[in-house]
Amino acid sequence: MTKINKTLIATSAPISVCKGLALFPQIGTSRAGVSASGTTGSIFSTKDTLLLWRLTADAGYDVFMGLCGPAYAVEMDVEGEADKGQVELTVSGDELQAGFFFGLTVGLHFSIDLEQYTTRIVWKGWHSHLESKWENVASIGPSIEVDMIDLILTVILLALEESGQEDTLLQKVDKFTPKLLGSWGMYDEQKNTFVENGGKMVAKPTFNIPIDITSMVPALKAVNESLKAFFCHFGTGPQIGVQIPVTVELNKIKLDSTEYADLSFSKGKVSGKTAGTDPSAPKELGLTLNHTPNFDLTLGVFASLQICKLFNVSGSVSIPILSMLGISPKLGTYSNDLKNDIGSESVASCGCGSLKGARLVEVIFDEPLVAGA
């Protein structure tokens, strides 16, 4: 009998979507990570002289975009034993995270210098002469950073107001913009569901847009008017969203190079069989995980109560529309291997083994530099 001490199997420790496995490997690498890209450029550059004045001005821009995911991350503690061509493992502390985060920032940089041409007499007897030079009179160099998604929504609202469309749905919705601005991505996590789901874990990252209709319903509007005295606000209405559910399933178990397949789940344990022989003293434990991403549209309702602008109690219920209609647009099934040294409770950031022999590397994403800024 071969004993398998408690071993951490994870994409990273601590668990993080940004260090997880890509939901859609066909559009990138199998590992997700953080993708960042920046570009810089010049808007204009000029140097003009008018009589005794010279103006030098230039403007530049930089665009910085970062994406974490779309990916899933997983961790679990595994322990058990192998004997007579069969392995039996107990899984505990399992956690699944899935989703992505996105950011887009645009920076604008200006530089303006105003110079004056001055002349003075330098007295040196027979060597007296006129000396002329350009002297700086004023210099400014402002720079701004803009959250582009925030800006786009603000421009839409301003455009509607200026065009006289004051009764549009977008303007009636009190909480539409704040709810949307707080979320640049989709995220979900589930804990301790592996055993009860028979070796499967399911996460449902969803991007929801709640639409507060209290200002459109006289009775609800009256309620909020009365709540103003207590600095409270009640919101409710429909909620629409986009969902990318992902199912992660254990497919194979490995002890060194020996594979155990035909997995079965019973009483909180997973068992597998091999056609070969059990390794006598295995050093490495590996799990093969299959994940299947999906796509759905959701429709639901939400309600929230904000108290004194300090506390917010909210809840929502959403229904997957496509699933209810029997439409299941499967986006493929993909396989990934995670492994670790048996008995190790730490894992490298790549999820490919223990931290033994690894070294830490600090990576800093900084803003792109603009020449002359």
Q: How far apart are CA 373 and CA 144, in angstroms?
A: 12
Phi, psi of 33 (to 5 degrees): 70, -170
Strands (E), 11-85: 21-22, 34-50, 53-83
Residue 310 lies in a domain: no
Residue 226 lies in a domain: no
Contact 98, 203 (CB under 8 A): yes
> What pTM did the predictor assign?
0.69
DSSP state of 169: H
Here the tokens at position 17 are: 């979507």
Q: How far apart are CA 321 and CA 297, in angstroms?
A: 6
Residue 144 lies in a domain: yes
Name the residue range of residue 64's domain: 2-205+244-294+330-341
- The helix or strand, by DSSP H or E, that contains position 139, with its residue range, turns out to be strand 129-140
Residue 334 lies in a domain: yes
Cα of 185 vs its chain's centroid, Å:
6
pLDDT at 309: 66
Residue 42 lies in a domain: yes
Residue 236 lies in a domain: no
Number of neighbours of residue 298 by Cβ within 10 angstroms: 21
Q: Single out the residue of 21, 22, 190 nearest to residue 94, CA to CA.
A: 190
Can you tell me which residue has the tokens 């230039």?
Answer: 58
212-216: long-range contacts (C-beta < 8 A, 24 or more apart)? 212/173, 212/174, 212/175, 212/176, 212/236, 212/237, 213/172, 213/173, 213/237, 213/238, 214/174, 215/172, 215/173, 215/174, 216/172
Residue 38 lies in a domain: yes
Contact 71, 96 (CB under 8 A): no
Residue 73 lies in a domain: yes
In total, how many domains does the chain have? Answer: 1
- The helix or strand, by DSSP H or E, that contains position 334, with its residue range, turns out to be strand 334-341
pLDDT at 368: 37
Which three-class secondary structure state does DSSP give residue 198?
coil
Mean pLDDT by 10 residues, the chain (373 residues): 92 88 74 69 86 88 81 93 92 92 81 88 77 86 78 67 55 42 70 87 89 87 87 89 92 93 87 89 93 93 83 85 86 91 81 49 39 36
